[in-house]
Chain A
Amino acid sequence: MTNLDLVLGDVRRGMIPAHIYNDEEIFRLERERLFSRAWLFVGHDSEIPQAGDYVVRRVLDDSFILSRGEDGQVRALFNMCLHRGMQVCRAEMGNASHFRCPYHGWSYRNDGRIVGLPFHKDAYGGEAGFKRKGQTLLPAPSLDTYNGLIFLSMDPDAPPLREYLGDFTFYLDYYTRQSASGIELRGPQRWRVKANWKIGAENFAGDMYHTPQTHTSVVEIGLFREPKAEKRKDGNTYWAGNGGGTTYKLPPGTLEEKLRYVGYPDVMIEKMKQQWSDDQLNVIGRDGFMISAASAFPNMSMVHNWPRVEDSDDVLPFISLRTWQPVGPDETEVLSWFAVDAEAPEEFKALSYKAYLMCFGSTGMFEQDDVENWVSLTSTASGAMARRLLLNSRMGLLEDGTEVVPPLTRDEYAGPGEAHVGYGEYNQRHLLNRWADVLEKPVDKVSQVEVSGVAAERTEERA
């Protein structure tokens, strides 16, 4: 039996009970208290650009149709027929004006409204027996977007998405708003790994320390231009609002030179200069930091890197977004998308896609070695010995809590939040502290929806 107070207390002082990476009880709590409330990334506007376009995405065990109605609005519809509960959409993507249940033929418009109910009059006596009017597939409790990124929350009282993300939106813009048109999202590649979902989220949030070891091979083969992965310690890790990430330190030069250094063509640089705030530009131009991997709590991550994709000294940047979709305490489905600025030149889009495939995703040469570690860690965390072991996640802190290096000042770093140069586990602690805060709070009862219900005779409140 896990003592939750003890576990959360340990996590908050930077000591991680190793079993939290593979524990049925912890996973049940995450399901009940975390994934029932947090904003979760499920897709992007550009995946469903036309009226009728849809993709189907899951949040744990729940399937939602992200559908663009004839009115142009995007909705997330719970993929369950109001009659007998059959999935009304069994494809993963497509274009449809209606979803028709194959079981009894109830059909719904792509905005969720019911339009077809066979034998409504004969079987139900019409509206007097079943109120067809106003019935819709159950919408996701909350839906919101930022830069076209679609998030849903299972909590009907979720705060607005912007409020939830907080200052992390400053950093999200680098990945998803390089021009006024924002990104095109392609994919996702989907695969299941026998690893706990938190490990990837923590790694992308702040683990610069693993790069020189885990990713030695990609440096050796010249995929990475920098001769030594140790350069990572010159970058910083930042945490702002509900997310944080890592950066690389760029060689001296103007803003334009720095953006060219990572492979952006001038036509894209001009758009970034129009699109980003002075502070956003200063992080790169004045302070010399370039965003790399990041995570938004709880399970969305992103990465920006600039490998060599051809036999030359040139590098090409790519962006990838992903979710670590929990399947169980020891299994995660990775959904990994390639993202590229919609206004980028076609040749850039093609080579950036190539850069993505070489580095991340199901075949990515960085990713391959990461997952091997995480699978191994998860497997080891299941036993009795892992319950005796508290892992030290205090990198960057002395025993008395003082920081090994002070945070960057506003003069040194124009970005919001708190940033430290060098190796540290600040962000892993931020992420797990939020996790602890959420796991501690019991959830409110959720209301049920009756499909054309009749008054209940009992008066007691439903559980």
Chain B
Amino acid sequence: MSLDAATTGPKAEQDKAGAKPTGNGGPYSAQSRLGGHAPRTERTGRALPFDDPRHLQAHHWMVEEAYILDAQNYSDWLDLLTEDIHYIMPVRVTTALTAGYDSAPHMAHFDENKYSLSRRVARFLTEHAWTEDPPSRLRHHISNVRTFATPNPEELIVDTAVLLYRSRGDVREASVISAGREDLLRKVGDGWQLARRTILVDDSVLRTQNLAIFL
């Protein structure tokens, strides 16, 4: 099978019964009881060529966002999110190969809309969010970026890998969170906003004291 002919993305893979989708995303947002408001746009076709202007814009957006998250400039980050955003990070569980699911049913770490994200951000902006005062040193490493068109010319799907290095204090062991993300970007005016994010964390048991960060 040549790489050019390979089908990619959850949608394309649905035809192959039992096959695990290649790529991030999945049924999590659609299955969430808090995801009723979320846009349901899915990817179409193969990943865009890396010199496609849409891919270049999406990649640029992901890198800019990573710097904002590293700096914990969360007011700026909120401005990057659409009003109908669904931001979900399922709880991953170890299941048998044939189980057909890999997350705890109806449970997530994050399962957020714009309001709850805005409360989280508001909390960090008080002077009493002790868990991030002193702040962690954060580095969001973003890689494996690929972009897909959708039926809607104003929307793109982007797969990324993210590795977050989080160091607190002086000698405490830093925590590392590895995840895959599937994002839905929507064209708003001249730029893009995040309308849906699914975060597939690669750990079942998190090795960080809390998720007082965003991925």
Contact = CB atoms under 8 A, between A and B. Distances in A.
Contacts, number: 130
A217 B107 CA distance: 25
Contacts of B122: 221
A4 B111 CA distance: 47
Contact of B210 (A311, A353, A367, A379): A367
Contact of A187 (B104, B116, B129, B209): B104
A289 B155 CA distance: 51
Interface in A159-188: 186-188
B187 interface: no
A94 B212 contact: no
A350 interface: yes
Contacts of B108: 357
Contacts of B208: 191
A186 B95 contact: no
Contacts of B111: 353-354, 357
Interface stretch (B53-61, B190-198, B199-207): B199-207
A368 B106 contact: no
Nearest to B111: A357
B34 A363 contact: no
Contact of B95 (A93, A194, A223): A93
A272 interface: no
Contacts of A341: none
A110 B21 CA distance: 31
Nearest to A351: B34
B96 interface: yes
B209 A375 contact: yes
A371 B131 contact: yes
Contacts of A375: 172, 209
B91 interface: yes
A121 B122 CA distance: 70
A190 B205 contact: yes
B107 A94 contact: no
A338 interface: yes
Given A186-B105, A309-B116, A216 B126 contact: yes
A333 interface: yes
A310 interface: yes
A358 B122 CA distance: 13
What's the interface size class on A, roughly? 35 or more
B16 interface: no
Nearest to A189: B91
A359 to B, nearest CB: 10
A351 B119 CA distance: 16
Contacts of A189: 91, 104, 107, 109, 206
B11 to A, nearest CB: 26
Contact of A310 (B89, B109, B115, B204): B115
Contacts of B212: 363, 368
Given A94-B99, A186-B105, A309-B116, A353 B172 contact: no
A217 B132 CA distance: 12
Contacts of B91: 187-190
A352 to B, nearest CB: 10
A214 interface: yes
Contacts of A93: 93, 95, 104
A192 interface: yes
A217 B94 contact: no
B33 interface: yes
Interface in B110-130: 110-112, 115-116, 119-120, 122-123, 126, 128-130
Select the residue from B105, B108, B208, B209 with max chain A CB neighbours within 10 A: B209
Q: Is the interface of A mostly helix, strand, loop or mixed?
A: mixed
A450 to B, nearest CB: 31
B115 A91 contact: no
A151 B37 CA distance: 39
B1 interface: no
Contacts of A91: 93-96, 99
Select the residue from B94, B131, B207 with max chain A CB neighbours within 10 A: B131
A92 B94 contact: yes
Interface string A343-365: 00010011001100110011111
A96 B99 CA distance: 10
B211 interface: yes
A309 B95 CA distance: 32
Contacts of B105: 186
A127 interface: no
A190 B212 CA distance: 15
Contact of A362 (B93, B130, B206): B206
B131 A369 contact: yes
Given A91-B94, A93-B93, A379-B172, A363 B110 contact: yes
Contacts of B116: 309, 354, 357-358
B210 A363 contact: yes
Contacts of B128: 216-217, 220
Select the residue from A188, A221, A310, A333 with max chain B CB neighbours within 10 A: A221
A314 interface: no
A13 B209 CA distance: 32
Interface of B: 33-34, 89, 91, 93-96, 99, 104-112, 115-116, 119-120, 122-123, 126, 128-131, 172, 204-212
What 8 A-B pairs come out closest when comparing CB atoms?
A191-B206, A216-B128, A372-B131, A217-B128, A350-B33, A368-B131, A221-B122, A190-B205
24 contacts: A91-B95, A91-B96, A94-B99, A186-B105, A186-B106, A187-B104, A190-B204, A191-B206, A194-B172, A214-B130, A217-B129, A218-B123, A220-B123, A220-B126, A310-B115, A349-B33, A357-B108, A361-B109, A362-B210, A364-B210, A365-B123, A368-B129, A368-B210, A375-B172
Given A187-B91, A362-B210, A363-B210, 20 more contacts: A91-B95, A94-B99, A186-B106, A189-B91, A190-B91, A191-B210, A192-B205, A217-B123, A220-B128, A311-B115, A338-B107, A353-B34, A357-B111, A363-B89, A364-B210, A365-B119, A367-B210, A373-B130, A375-B172, A375-B209
